[in-house]
Chains A and B, each alone.
Chain A
Amino acid sequence: MQKFLTILRREYVSRVKTKGFILGTILIPLFMIAVSVLPAIMVLLKSEDQRRIAVIDRSGEIYEALYHSLDDSTETGIRKFNLRRQEAGVENLDAVKKSLADEIDKEMLDSYIYIPMDILRTSSAELYGRVVSNFQENERIEDAISRIVTETRIKRSGLDPEAVRQLTKNVRIVTFKVGPGGKEEEDRGYSFVMAYGLAMFLYMAMFIYGAIILRSVIEEKSSRVIESVISSVKPFHLMAGKIFGVGAVGLTQFLIWTIALGLISAYGVQVAVMLAPGAKGASLPSMPIAVLVSFVIYFLLGYFLYATLYAAVGAMVNSEQEAQQLQWPIVILIIIPIMFIMFIIQNPASQTSVILSMIPFFAPIIMLARIVVQMPPLWEILLSMFIMVATIFGAIWVVAKIYRVGVLMYGKRPNLPEIIKWIRYS
């Protein structure tokens, strides 16, 4: 036990003290926030550049309204869409189009819109530009023209556009999540985001901490320090100390993140209001305690299972390059539940979901997603945990044997029959 703790402490201290750990602890959440939030922010960011757009309005009914409608401004407060009317008749249409295209080519113009004479009937207009991949802007222009055309048609038919707008107003569905005890709670897609986010988090954690175990085993092997170590401590204790030590590193990171998250949910709104008064009344999603507890449990179970498997791979290979070739079965096991995650979130209680959440290699991600979206019966949760614990013990039993022989083997990578022999004879 003393030796196990000595190994554990070395694994823990030698990792927590590194710059890598400190950076990782700060950067991983930033990275995850960046990945999930940045695209949204980028979209919201107003484009600095003014768009110089020429409009050929052959119908003669659109330009005025369009000019008023596209009144967005840039950050510097000038009109974003700098529209200019371009006259053209039937006879010189092609020539006008050609000269506008030339202007675009010489970057004197960004794009031009061609509105045909019969737009009210055909509902079709054309946009020409150097860059036509800015969906937001295209959509903005399309919406504006579309609304103008619709209103014109309504007016022509003698109806009141305002009355029509009232009559055709869309219905908005507000979702409420009914939790245990029938408690209702407005849900603005939080449970989807949370299930997906936690699943992705577990997915990344399995890879990151698995890779740490893998590297740790290979390092001892390739630096040949392993023999000195196992002349003092049983290989099993070495393996266990390593897995628990790295696990403790993971828990430390979680603790830091949980505290940070707690601070953010306690003070985040206040800070946000201070920075931007408009955020008043906004609320941050909070994680139910049951979800938090099952998250920690499934993280630990998943970690122990995959760390054990990665330890076996590490013991079988001589270098990280070789490990790349040998770890694919584990990688597939980690990826499969992520491939099912959308289905699980949409159908948390389906038979497929229940079966998948009982398979120990998938249970952490899938059962956690189920718990977030729709709390499954307690016996299902307990059964999946029990299956996982049993699998972990089985894996440790097998892997300890592979480990014991493997860490002393250099040179040729063992094939499957050899590995089976290790398991049977050691």
Chain B
Amino acid sequence: MEALRLENVSKSFDKVQAVGDLSLTVPAGKVYGFLGPNGAGKTTTLRMLLQIILPDSGNVHILGQLNSREALDRVGYLPEERGGYRKMKVHEALEFFGELKGMKRKDCQQKIDYWLGRFEMAQARTKKMEELSKGNQQKIQFLTAVLHEPDLIVLDEPFMGLDPINALLLKEILLEQKNRGAAIIFSTHLMDEAEKLCDSICLINKGKKVLDGELKTIKQNFGKKNIILSYTGTADYLKDSSLVKQYNDYGNHVEISLNDGASYKALLQRALQEADISRFEMVEPSLNEIFISTVTQN
């Protein structure tokens, strides 16, 4: 079962291609990271899948339906541009958006009470939106994306502007939503968050897809393995270019990328000859590394 499928979607603005021939699939019940540098076409793509703007060509299947507006009632969306009806009271604004998604007023009110409690904002219920802090306004706007328990949640830079505590809360809620069975697609350029949350990712650059798939597979396929080594003694072996391609030496802690064809055993043996080794660990490449190397190669 797939929550979202884009087929060869393209969009240009004034002859500048924002998104070109993009295809991707978000499986149901998974967290999908939509990554890319600034101006890569992330927001344009997310807007197209909500039919805020229409693609020049290609198809958008949402929850199994092709270009359907009805399906959008089961989608929640947090736009990149943050804002709300400033003069409306918090609960009125939430009821309004809930009803726009086809919720009954009564269900709305129950959910609102639950979520405001969850965010420790119960006392803000009857406040006007403009009286809230920026961060709290953002939380209310996030609520409009999850209030109606959508099957697909689309979030454009959800971590932008959140403090660490609220970022943690957001992560927790996203995992809950995933466990409830919802698919989540979110754009970000914070690789740390993506790495911890995502089951799959898609990396786009200049409107084109450069990499996609399950995060695990991507990391395995990326091939390069790094070694972290803690030592006391000398470290002349680092200069051996047959073994070491690149390193970061912190004095008693060093991060090493092995040269192609070199074996980690050989490196360990060399190191043991020269120093006392207290830690020797092989680590997978970080998403950050994959991101930078893919985008700069591209």
Contact = CB atoms under 8 A, between A and B. Distances in A.
Contact of A408 (B53, B77, B83, B101): B53
A223 B92 CA distance: 17
A223 B86 contact: yes
Closest 7 interchain pairs by CB? Answer: A224-B83, A224-B81, A227-B79, A232-B100, A223-B83, A231-B77, A231-B50
B85 interface: yes
A10 interface: yes
B102 A2 contact: yes
Nearest to B130: A223
Given A6-B100, A14-B87, A224-B83, A234 B77 contact: no
B79 A224 contact: yes
Give the contact-size bracket for chain B. Answer: 20 to 34
B85 A231 contact: no
B141 A6 contact: no
B79 A3 contact: no
9 contacts: A2-B99, A2-B102, A3-B100, A6-B96, A223-B86, A225-B84, A228-B97, A231-B75, A232-B101
Contact of A230 (B52, B96, B141): B52
B10 to A, nearest CB: 15
A231 B52 contact: yes
A224 B82 CA distance: 6
A228 B96 contact: no
B130 to A, nearest CB: 9
Contacts of B73: 232
Interface in A223-241: 223-225, 227-234
Given A14-B88, A408-B53, A229 B100 contact: yes
Contact of B97 (A219, A224, A227, A232): A232
B47 to A, nearest CB: 8
A157 B50 CA distance: 99
B52 A408 contact: yes
B87 A227 contact: no
Nearest to B83: A224
Interface in A1-36: 2-3, 6-7, 10, 14
Interface in A37-51: none
Contacts of B141: 228
A77 to B, nearest CB: 56
Contacts of A230: 52
A111 to B, nearest CB: 58
Contacts of A225: 83-85
Give the contact-size bracket for chain A. Answer: 20 to 34
Nearest to B50: A231
A233 B81 CA distance: 18
Contact of B69 (A14, A228, A234): A234
Contacts of B188: none
Contact of A232 (B72, B81, B87, B92): B72
Nearest to B148: A232
A64 to B, nearest CB: 72
A223 B84 contact: yes
Contacts of B69: 234
A244 to B, nearest CB: 16
A423 to B, nearest CB: 15
Interface in A182-217: none
Contacts of A228: 77, 79, 84, 97, 141, 144
Interface of A: 2-3, 6-7, 10, 14, 219-220, 223-225, 227-234, 408
Contact of B99 (A6, A224, A231): A6
A56 B100 CA distance: 85
Nearest to B99: A6
A234 B70 CA distance: 11
Nearest to B49: A231
A233 B79 CA distance: 15
A225 B85 CA distance: 7
Contacts of A7: 100
B18 to A, nearest CB: 13
Contacts of B101: 232
Given A6-B99, A234-B69, A223 B52 contact: no
Given A3-B100, A6-B96, A223-B84, 18 more contacts: A6-B100, A14-B88, A14-B92, A219-B86, A220-B85, A223-B85, A224-B79, A224-B81, A224-B83, A227-B79, A227-B81, A228-B97, A231-B51, A231-B52, A231-B72, A231-B79, A232-B101, A408-B52
A69 B41 CA distance: 91
Contacts of B144: 228
Interface string B85-117: 111100010001101111000000000000000
A50 to B, nearest CB: 55
Nearest to A234: B69
A259 B83 CA distance: 40
A227 B51 CA distance: 11
B49 to A, nearest CB: 10
A225 B81 CA distance: 8
Contacts of B77: 227-228, 231-232
A366 to B, nearest CB: 37
Contacts of A6: 96, 99-100
A14 B47 CA distance: 28
Interface string B39-76: 00000000100111100000000000000010011010
B102 to A, nearest CB: 7
Nearest to A418: B14
Nearest to A3: B100
Nearest to A426: B54
A234 B73 CA distance: 12
Given A14-B87, A14-B88, A234-B69, A227 B52 contact: yes
B75 to A, nearest CB: 8
A395 B73 CA distance: 29
Contacts of A219: 85-86
A225 B84 CA distance: 5
